[in-house]
Amino acid sequence: MFEDFDINPVFEGTAREHRHFSLNVKGNQYKGMIHGDKVHWYNPHPKQSLEEEHVDAIESKVMNMMSDYAGE
């Protein structure tokens, strides 16, 4: 589905803490962040080159991986 998933905490330990992530899909690098219960993508947005169903599956997996990370 994707490779090279990295989590990058920003403003860690503050009220403005967000977890940004990056991943690679078919050789394309995508970055985003989780805010609330939604994935917010930076440009380029994966919907520009991937089918919506594939993006939905990626977002679901990212949410699960981020939840696992937060639980540590």
Q: Say what the pLDDT of residue 63 is.
A: 92
Beta strands in 1-72 (DSSP E): 3-10, 18-25, 28-35, 38-41
The answer, as to whether pTM is greater than 0.85, is no
pLDDT per residue over 10-30, tens digit each?
777 777 777 889 999 989 999
Q: Whose CA is closest to 36, among 19, 21, 48, 49?
A: 19
Ordered by start, the domain boundaries in the chain are 3-70
Task: Give the bridge partners for 24, in sequence order.
Answer: 3, 29
Q: Are 32 and 40 in contact (CB under 8 A)?
A: yes
